[in-house]
Structure formats: structure tokens, C-alpha cells
Amino acid sequence: MTRTPLRRFADYAVLSVLAFIFVLPVLYLILGSFKPSDQVLSGLTGFLPTHLSFDNYTSVLDSFDSEATGYFWRFMGISVLLSTVVVLGGLIINSMAAYGLTRLKWRGQKAVFTVVLLLMLVPFEAVAVPLFYMFNDQRNTIYIQAIPFIANAFSLYQFATFFRAIPSSIEEAARIDGAGPWRTFFAIIVPMSKPAFASVAILTFLTQWGSYLWPVLMVSDPSVRPLPLEMGVFSVQQPVDWGQILAFGVLLVLPVLIVFAFFQRWFIQGVASSAVKG
């Protein structure tokens, strides 16, 4: 496609204006997190880079320092722990199941896979209330926040689509060499499926890190609270300290942003493949 310099300039102009509007809220968040509270909610001057300091960050880390308020690093630790368990556990069991259900031959395998496809129709929201009732006596534990999310029909399905595209000759060669299904899977299939693992891992991490509904239902004790839930609690505590709230917000989003910056390609591919490949 040929493009004149004028058109090229127009493209950049439109994109830049749109991108600027899009980034404004993020800019406001970051600037505000370095400003004293009374300078945050102060009209358009909220965008002026004045009075900047790390005070909000140090106060956030300092003010969460008792059992009653919870500890900041504990919220962070809980979130990291939950994401790690859900992502790693999910990668292992969902990929294994996808392999067992699509590449191994056994009676009833297709029927079971169809059941998985049906379960994929059920969003978490549709089971949140009964799960809350079923596990009501496990409230305020750490494990109940992670366990329901490890097995995931959509991840399983994503692995299944990927594994199906692997030529069966590869497995047959492994089998002839005497490798059983387990070894074939772990030594051959897993290493050649890195893209699938990467995109499933990232999508799972993204959903888990920001997860809000389940913690609302299951967690009231600050000592097992994950970050996003505390974000909601902290942001409405009186007196409202906007500077600190925004600093908290930056610390909440920073880990995902870092992961995003490093694995951007996989984020975008993961999202795109979830739709286009199907």
C-alpha cells in the first residue's frame, strides 16, 4: 500500500491524539501518586508535576503496620501466592487434561471433552453464589481463594486447540522409541508447546491478579486479603487520602505492568488466539 507523507502525518496525528486521551487517566494516576493529597483532587492542576515526592509510597508502606489494618507486604504476598498457585497449578493440570482428552485414545474421551466444552459456557459469576454458600465455613482462608480457579475449562480448551495442531507423526515416533504417554507429553509435547503455555499463563495471571468478586464474598479478615480487595476497602476509608490511595494503586498495577512490558507479545497473541483460532 502506498502512502503519501501527508497521509502518514495524518495517521500519526490521529493516533497520537487518541493515545493521549487514552493515557491521560494513567498519567493522572502516576502523577497523583507522587503528590500530596490536597494537590491531587485540584482540578486541572492535578496534571502539573509539582510538589512531587515519594511520601505517599512510604506512608502506604508505613501505615499498614498492624493486625487491624493489615500489612501492605502481606496483601502483596497473598496476591503473589494466589497468582502463582493458580497459574502454575493451572498450567500443569489443564495442559495434562487437554493432552489426555485430545491426543490419547480411550473410550468416552470425546464425551468427556464435550462436557468440558459445556462447562466452558458457565462463567464464574454463575457459580459464585452457590460456591459462597458451599464454602461459607472456609471463609478467610488462603486456599479457598485459589483452589476453585486452578482447573479452568477455557485454559484446557486453549491447550486442546494447540495440541490438535501438532502432527501425530511426532508422537508416533516417540512411541516407537518406547516412550509412554507420560514421557511423550512431558519430554516432547510440553517443550514444543511453549507459545500455548505462555499465552495461557498470561491470561490466567491477568484474570487472577485483578480478581475481585470472589474475595469480596470470601474474605473479610485483613490478614488474608489480596491487593485488589484492599484497594477497594482502602479507597473508601475516611479520611480519604488521595495521594496514598493512588500510590497504593500504582503498587497494585505495577507487577502486571512489568509482566506486560516483558511479555507483551504473548499478551497480545494470547488474547488474539483465544478468539481467532477457535
Partner 1 sequence: MKTVEPAHAAPSGRDKAPPATTAKPPRPARKSRDWVPGLLMSAPALGGLIAFVGVPFVYAIVLSFYNVRLGSPVPPTFFGLEQYRRIFTDPDMSGPFLRALTNNLTFAVVVVPVQTGLALALAILLNRKLKAIGLFRSLFFMPVVFPMALVAVIWRLILARSDQGLLNSALDAVSFGNWGAFDWLGDGLTAMASVIVLSIWQGVGFQMVILLAGLQQIPSELYEAAQLDRASRWQQFRHVTLPGMRGTLVFVAMLTSVLAFRVFDQVYVLVNGGGLDEDATRTVMYQAVTTAFNQNNIGQGSAITVVFFLIVVVLTLIQRRVVRPGNED
Whether 188 and 174 have beta carbons less than 8 Å apart is answered as yes
Q: Which is nearer to partner 1, 58 or 220 (CB)?
A: 220
Q: What is the DSSP string of 21-88?
A: HHHHHHHHHHHHHTS-GGGTSBTBGGGS--S--SHHHHHHHHH-EETTTEEHHHHHHHHHHHHHHHHH
Q: Rounded to the nearest whole angstrom, what is the least distance from the CB of residue 63 to partner 1 in the complex? A: 17
Whether 241 and 127 have beta carbons less than 8 Å apart is answered as no
Count of residues making up the chain: 278
Size of the site for partner 1 (CB under 8 A): 105
Half-sphere exposure (Cβ direction) of 87: Cα atoms closer than 13 Å: 19
Per CB under 8 A, 168 contacts partner 1: yes
Query: Can you tell me which of 169, 178, 191, 239 binds partner 1, judged by CB under 8 A?
Result: 169
Write the CB contacts of 184 (distance below 8 Å, at least 6 apart in sequence): 171, 174, 175
Using the contact rule CB under 8 A, the part of the chain among 50-58, 80-88, 100-108, 187-195 near partner 1 is 100-108
Q: Which is nearer to partner 1, 19 or 192 (CB)?
A: 19
Q: How far apart (Å, rounded) are the C-alpha atoms in residues 35 and 243? A: 6
Q: How far apart (Å, rounded) are the C-alpha atoms in residues 184 and 96? A: 11
Site for partner 1 in 101-140 (CB under 8 A): 101-102, 104-107, 109-110, 112-113, 116-117, 119, 121-123, 125-134, 136
Q: Rounded to the nearest whole angstrom, what is the least distance from the CB of residue 62 to partner 1 in the complex? A: 20
Whether 163 and 99 have beta carbons less than 8 Å apart is answered as yes
Site for partner 1 in 202-241 (CB under 8 A): 206, 209-210, 212-213, 216-217, 227-229, 231-232, 235-236
- Contact pattern for partner 1 over residues 49 through 68, marking x by CB under 8 A: --------------------
Using the contact rule CB under 8 A, the part of the chain among 50-58, 66-74, 174-182, 187-195 near partner 1 is 174-182
Q: Which is nearer to partner 1, 52 or 129 (CB)?
A: 129
Query: Can you tell me which of 76, 80, 142, 151 binds partner 1, judged by CB under 8 A?
Result: 151
SS3 216: helix
Query: Can you tell me which of 36, 70, 243, 249 binds partner 1, judged by CB under 8 A?
Result: 249
* Cell output for 256: 502486571
Q: Rounded to the nearest whole angstrom, what is the least distance from the CB of residue 95 to partner 1 in the complex? A: 9
Q: Which is nearer to partner 1, 71 or 124 (CB)?
A: 124
Pick from 89, 121, 101, 91: which is nearest to 163 by CA?
Answer: 101
Query: Can you tell me which of 57, 64, 242, 266 binds partner 1, judged by CB under 8 A?
Result: 242
CA gyration radius for the chain? Answer: 23
